[in-house]
Structure 1
């Protein structure tokens, strides 16, 4: 099978979750013996890269594929005309959308950016947020209209959460839609042991991986819990791995911040931690309240480390509290209480970490995602041949 994958980024080496997603799928397709063509990504190993600079270039891309697979996220398709052009050129080739976000995810900065947990906002600040969001609404409506129009040509949608399946079916009108969350790497017990041997501190360590500037990463929740821990649990060490520094980062004797770790170093840190956190705020402007599929959650579990995560959205669907992880509210007291539970009961931490790893091993790995995605491509191609 010859797969055309459009994702509009340079994905290797991976710098974020969207890069990891594209990389894992592409390498999985190649490992399964298929050919992969991409547009304007000379970094991706093993693929045939085509320029998207002209109609002739796009036609060459289309002529070399059997199925077109398009990543749809918060970036506007209206600013990516190659998608519509390739879909039109595709003829009878199946078109599959990988849906990662609705257009209104761009409102995250309006409603969440710069906010601080438990800090009262003035009416003027709320008005400024409303005005900032209102200015974005016409563009969002235009983008959703374009998506609905393009979606008429889409054969199937792979949605990273149940909320996004609802979006695909009810908003975009794509009847054939499935839920396929992000995955985690398959890591052996021996590899985990070797990575844990690199641990440098004996203190109970809580690890966070993510951005210090994107408000949907929940760092303000963790920062508030860290401040509480200075008095209530000063023995807990917090290790924060971020891509860039920000004035919102917490500091203090119980915090260590590291910047720019590569993927191997991130996995070392996860394996060496006693607990990992994936905290995500409610999307107050969205009818779905939360639509994401936090990749860090899957990576944490893949490494066999106990997780504490927000009790909403996909996190609450995957995690059974006390069975394969711990769920928490947005309250700093609750977040810290769950971490202290793991500190005080190391057997619980080990049991939850093991159960989380089993979840990845038994159907939630990137390898499983590749198989499920290829099954959809094969089904659509077989339908075309009948």
Structure 2
């Protein structure tokens, strides 16, 4: 099978969750013996890369594929005319959308950006947030209209959450949909033990991986819990791996912030931690409330480390409190309570980490995602041949 994958980024080496997603799928397709064509990504190993800047390049891309697979996220399709052009050139080839976000995810910057739980927000700043969001609404409406128009040509949608399945079927009108959350790497127990030997501290360590500037990463919640821990649990060590520094990052003798770790270093840190956190705020402006599939959650579990995560959306669907992880509210007190529980009960932390690891091994790995995605491609191709 020859797969055309459009994702509009340089995905290797991976710098974020979207890069990891594209990389894992592409390498999985290649490992399964298929050919992969991409547009404008000379970094991706093993693929045929085509230019998206000319009609000849787009036509050559389409002529070399059997199925067209397109990543849909918060970036506007209206700013990527090559998507519509390739869909038109595709002819009778199956078209599958990988849906990661509705257009209104862009409002996260309006409502959540720069927020700090320890600093009361003035009425002026609230007004600025409202005005910033109001300015974005016409663009969101236009983008969703374009998506609905293009979706008429889509044969199937792979949605990373149940919320996005609702978005695909109810808003975009795509009837053939599948929920396929993000995955985690398959890491053996032996490899985990080897990585744990690199541990640098004997203190109970809580690890966070993510952005210090993207508001959907929930760092403001975590930072408030860290400040609270300075009084209630000063023995807990917090290790934060971020891509960039911010003045909102917590500080203190119990906090260490590291920047720019590569993926192997991130996995080392996860394996060496006693607990990991994945906190995500509610999108109160959205009918879906929370639509994401936090990749860090899957990577934490893949490393056999106990997770504390927000009690909403996909996190609440995957995590059974006390069985394969701990769920928390948004309050700093409750977040810290869950971490203290793990600190005080090492056997519970071990059991939760093991249960999370088993989940990835049995059904939530990137290998499982690749198989499910290829099954859709095969089904659609066979239906076209009938």
TM-score by length of 1: 0.99
Aligned to 1:17: 17
| 1:86-97 equivalences in 2 (<5 Å) | 86-97=86-97
Aligned to 1:236: 236
Q: CA RMSD in A?
A: 0.6
Q: Alignment partner of 2:43: what SS?
A: coil
Aligned to 1:114: 114
| 1:176 equivalenced with 2:164 (yes/no) | no
The alpha-carbon deviation at position 121 of structure 1 amounts to 2.1
Q: State the distance in 2 between where 1:118 and 1:284 align.
A: 20
Q: State the distance in 2 between where 1:369 and 1:363 align.
A: 9
Long gaps (5+) in structure 2: none
Q: State the distance in 2 between where 1:87 and 1:227 align.
A: 50
Aligned to 1:385: 385
The alpha-carbon deviation at position 126 of structure 1 amounts to 1.5
Aligned to 1:336: 336
Q: Alignment partner of 2:280: what SS?
A: coil
| 1:183-202 equivalences in 2 (<5 Å) | 183-202=183-202
| 1:302 equivalenced with 2:302 (yes/no) | yes
The alpha-carbon deviation at position 284 of structure 1 amounts to 1.1
Q: State the distance in 2 between where 1:119 and 1:354 align.
A: 38
Aligned to 1:166: 166
Aligned to 2:49: 49
Q: Alignment partner of 2:192: what SS?
A: helix
Can you list the C-alpha shifts for 1:112-169, whole angstroms capped at 9, x where unaligned?
0111125432222211111100000000000000000000000000000000000000
| 1:349-360 equivalences in 2 (<5 Å) | 349-360=349-360
Aligned to 1:40: 40
Aligned to 1:8: 8
Runs of 4+ in 1 over 3 A off after TM superposition: none
Q: State the distance in 1 between where 2:186 and 2:124 align.
A: 49
Aligned to 2:256: 256
Q: Alignment partner of 1:5: what SS?
A: strand
Q: Alignment partner of 1:247: what SS?
A: coil
Aligned to 1:225: 225
Q: State the distance in 1 between where 2:115 and 2:18 align.
A: 25
Q: Alignment partner of 2:104: what SS?
A: helix
Can you list the C-alpha shifts for 1:15-61, whole angstroms capped at 9, x where unaligned?
00000000000000000000000000000000000011111110000
TM-score by length of 2: 0.99
Can you list the C-alpha shifts for 1:253-301, whole angstroms capped at 9, x where unaligned?
1000000000000000000000000000010111111000000000000
Aligned to 1:152: 152
Aligned to 1:69: 69
Aligned to 2:29: 29
Q: State the distance in 2 between where 1:305 and 1:122 align.
A: 39
Long gaps (5+) in structure 1: none
The alpha-carbon deviation at position 304 of structure 1 amounts to 0.1
Can you list the C-alpha shifts for 1:193-245, whole angstroms capped at 9, x where unaligned?
00000001000000000000001100010110111111110100000000000
Aligned to 2:319: 319
Aligned to 1:290: 290
Q: How many residues align?
A: 386
Aligned to 1:211: 211
Aligned to 1:346: 346
